[in-house]
C-alpha cells in the first residue's frame, strides 16, 4: 500500500485482501466519501453560501439545528440512498429509522451517521466533521426497524470520519488498521496520506470540558487533579490541555500525536448519563481508536461491548492513549466498590433518580 493511492483504488485493494468486503460495501463507502466531498464544498462556502447560523428547527435531542446540520444531513441521505446498497439509515438529525423503500434501491447494509459533528464550530470557521458507521443488516433487510440498528459496537464492519479543517481528510477502518486520506481539491480525490495510523500508548495531553468539573464523578476529578498537579504531583510530569469542542477534531489530534479525550458521566443533567451519542459518536470512534492501538471506555465498560437500548442513547466516553485510559478506568474500578455502596454515587443516586 503506497502513499498517493486514490480512495477508490484503496478500497479495491482492501477487497482483494479481505473476503468479507464485497462490491456492495466498496460502492457504499465510495458514495459516503463522495457525500463528504460535497459537505466539504458546502462548509467551505461559509457565509458566502449563506450556510452559517441556526436553522428553523431543533433535532431529536431538542438541540438547535444549524443550517449546515440540515444541509449535511440531506447530502448524506441523497448519496447513501442512491448508492443502492442500504436497507436503511439512522442519523443524529432524524428521530426514527429512514428505511429505503424502493425495491431497486434497497441493499443489505445499514448506515448510521452524525452528518456534522461539532456543528457550532462552523460558525466560527473552526474544524467540524462527519462520523459514520456501517453494519450488516440482519434478516430480510425489508423495512428495518430500530432493533436492527441496536447492535453491539463490535459488529461494526466499517467506521470512519471526515474532518473539515485546513484540509479535508477522511479516516477509515475496515477492521484492519486505520488509514487517512487527504482531499486533493484540484483533482477532487481523496488520496492515501496516513498509512496505518497508531496512537502512542502514553501521553501528556488531556481534553475535557473543565467547565463541568463540579458535576464530575470522583475518578475523573482525581485523574484531572493529578494531571494539573504537574511535576510536583503524583504523576511527576506536566500535562497540557486541549478542548476544540468537536469530537472529530479531538480524535483526529489523538490519532496523530496521542492524548486522552473525556466526556465522562456527570450529574449536570440527571436525565443524561453522558453527552455523546452511542451509535454515531462513541461506537465508530471507539472502533477507530481501538484499531489504532488505543482504548475506549465509559469508565465502567469497554464501549464496543455495550448493548444499545435506544437509537439516540447517550454514554460517557473516555478514549485515546491506552495507558492513560486504563489509568482512568482503574480509578473507576477502585471507587467502584464504594461507589455502589454509597447513595451519593450509585447509578440511581441522590443526583440521578
Ligand atoms: O456532538 C457533541 C459535541 O459537539 C462533540 O463533538 C464535542 O466533543 C462536544 O459536543 C462539545 O461539547 P461542549 O459543548 O460541552 O464543549
Instruction: Round to whole Å and give the CA distance between 23 and 170.
Output: 20
% residues pLDDT > 70 (the chain): 95
Instruction: Work out the average pLDDT over 217-237.
Output: 97
Contact 184, 193 (CB under 8 A): no
Closest C-alpha residue for ligand 1 atom 13:
245
Q: Is 31 helix (H, G, I), strand (E, B) or coil?
A: helix
What are 106-159's pLDDT values in tens digits?
999 999 999 999 988 989 999 999 999 999 998 778 889 999 999 999 999 999
What are 338-348's pLDDT values in tens digits?
443 334 444 44
Q: Give the single-character DSSP code of 302.
A: B
The best mutation among 116, 117, 124, 312 to test binding of ligand 1, ranked by most ligand atoms within 8 Å of the C-beta, falls on 117
pLDDT of residue 339: 42
Instruction: Round to whole Å and give the CA distance between 262 and 205.
Output: 11
pLDDT of residue 300: 95
What's the pLDDT band for 51 if we cut at 50, 70, 90? confident
Q: Ligand 1 mean position to 118 CA, how many Å?
A: 6
Neighbours of 282 (CB within 10 A): 28
Instruction: Work out the average pLDDT over 310-314.
Output: 96
- Least confident among 60-64, 127-131, 139-143, 248-252: 60-64
Instruction: Work out the average pLDDT over 195-204.
Output: 97
Instruction: Work out the average pLDDT over 23-42.
Output: 97
Instruction: Round to whole Å and give the CA distance between 325 and 313.
Output: 22
pTM confidence score: 0.93
Average pLDDT, rounded, for the chain = 92
Largest CA distance in the chain: 66
Q: Ligand 1 mean position to 120 CA, how many Å?
A: 9
The best mutation among 68, 118, 127 to test binding of ligand 1, ranked by most ligand atoms within 8 Å of the C-beta, falls on 118
**Is the per-residue pLDDT at 350 higher than 50?**
no
What are 158-194's pLDDT values in tens digits?
999 999 999 999 999 999 999 999 999 999 999 999 9
The C-alpha cell at 153 is 459496537
What are 88-106's pLDDT values in tens digits?
999 999 999 999 988 888 9
Q: Which residue shows C-alpha cell 483526529?
A: 252
pLDDT of residue 1: 80
**Is the per-residue pLDDT at 248 higher than 80?**
yes
pLDDT of residue 54: 85
Amino acid at each position: 500500500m503506497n502513499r498517493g493511492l486514490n480512495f477508490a483504488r484503496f478500497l479495491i485493494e482492501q477487497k482483494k485482501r479481505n473476503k468479507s468486503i464485497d462490491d456492495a460495501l466498496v460502492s457504499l463507502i465510495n458514495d459516503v466519501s463522495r457525500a463528504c466531498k460535497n459537505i466539504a464544498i458546502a462548509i467551505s462556502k461559509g457565509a458566502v453560501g449563506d450556510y452559517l447560523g441556526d436553522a428553523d428547527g431543533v433535532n431529536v435531542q431538542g438541540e438547535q439545528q444549524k443550517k449546515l446540520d440540515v444541509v449535511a444531513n440531506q447530502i448524506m441521505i441523497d448519496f447513501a440512498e442512491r448508492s443502492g446498497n442500504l436497507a436503511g439509515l439512522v442519523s443524529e438529525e432524524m428521530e426514527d429509522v429512514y428505511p429505503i423503500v424502493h425495491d431497486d434501491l434497497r441493499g443489505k447494509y445499514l448506515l448510521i451517521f452524525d452528518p456534522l459533528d461539532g456543528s457550532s464550530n462552523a460558525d466560527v470557521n473552526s474544524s467540524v466533521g462527519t462520523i459514520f458507521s456501517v453494519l450488516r443488516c440482519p434478516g430480510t433487510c425489508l423495512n428495518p426497524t430500530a432493533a436492527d440498528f441496536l447492535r453491539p459496537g463490535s459488529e461494526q464492519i466499517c467506521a470512519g470520519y471526515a474532518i473539515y479543517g485546513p484540509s479535508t481528510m477522511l479516516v477509515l477502518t475496515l477492521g484492519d488498521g486505520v488509514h487517512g486520506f487527504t482531499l486533493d481539491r484540484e483533482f477532487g480525490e481523496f488520496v492515501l496520506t496516513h498509512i496505518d495510523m497508531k496512537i502512542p500508548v502514553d501521553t501528556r495531553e488531556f481534553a475535557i470540558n473543565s467547565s463541568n468539573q463540579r458535576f464530575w464523578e470522583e475518578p475523573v476529578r482525581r485523574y484531572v487533579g493529578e494531571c494539573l498537579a504537574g511535576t510536583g504531583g503524583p504523576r511527576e510530569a506536566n500535562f497540557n490541555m486541549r478542548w476544540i469542542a468537536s469530537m472529530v477534531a479531538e480524535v483526529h489530534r489523538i490519532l496523530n500525536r496521542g492524548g486522552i479525550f473525556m466526556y465522562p458521566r456527570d450529574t449536570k443533567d440527571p436525565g443524561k448519563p453522558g453527552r455523546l451519542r452511542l451509535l454515531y459518536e462513541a461506537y465508530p470512534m471507539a472502533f477507530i481508536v481501538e484499531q489504532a492501538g488505543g482504548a475506549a471506555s465509559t469508565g465502567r465498560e469497554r464501549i464496543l461491548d455495550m448493548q444499545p437500548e435506544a437509537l439516540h442513547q447517550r454514554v460517557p466516553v473516555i478514549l485515546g492513549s491506552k495507558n492513560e485510559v486504563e489509568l482512568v478506568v482503574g480509578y473507576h474500578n477502585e471507587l467502584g466498590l464504594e461507589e455502589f455502596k454509597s447513595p451519593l454515587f450509585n447509578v440511581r443516586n441522590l443526583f440521578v433518580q
